Amino acid sequence: DSGVTQTPKHLITATGQRVTLRCSPRSGDLSVYWYQQSLDQGLQFLIHYYNGEERAKGNILERFSAQQFPDLHSELNLSSLELGDSALYFCASSVGGGMYQETQYFGPGTRLLVL
């Protein structure tokens, strides 16, 4: 158990809908990262937050948004969902804000299926 929790584990929804994925980092970690893993695109980095502020943005679509709250949990909002958004969404956390200079701990992922 990495100490990172993600809810829900599974999500089935329809095209055009909006969903929210939640991530709670390990106790004491200030950084949260979001990733998408799909059969078509492989693993992609979406976005990085450190202590409530956006630090880096990757291949995140405009239909997607994220935020990190004062208690450090993070939410990834996906809207106007398309079939191609079906994927496994991971979050990870790390202690500091030095992107990719320290160990990240991954949650179990949320599997999203868009029908």
Partner 1 sequence: GIQVEQSPPDLILQEGANSTLRCNFSDSVNNLQWFHQNPWGQLINLFYIPSGTKQNGRLSATTVATERYSLLYISSSQTTDSGVYFCAVFKAAGNKLTFGGGTRVLVKP
Where along the sequence are the contacts to partner 1 (CB under 8 A)? 2, 42-45, 48, 55-58, 88, 90, 92, 99-106, 108-109
Q: Which is nearer to partner 1, 15 or 102 (CB)?
A: 102
Cα–Cα dist 57/100, whole Å: 13
Q: Please, what is the minimum distance in Å from the beta carbon of residue 78 to partner 1?
A: 19
Q: Which is nearer to partner 1, 72 or 94 (CB)?
A: 94
Which is it for the CA torsion 17, 55, 57, 7, positive or negative?
negative
Q: Please, what is the minimum distance in Å from the beta carbon of residue 33 to partner 1?
A: 9
Cα–Cα dist 52/50, whole Å: 5
Cα–Cα dist 21/102, whole Å: 24
Question: Residue 108: is the preceding peptide bond cis (ω within 30°)?
Answer: no
Q: Which is nearer to partner 1, 38 or 79 (CB)?
A: 38
Q: Please, what is the minimum distance in Å from the beta carbon of residue 56 to partner 1?
A: 4
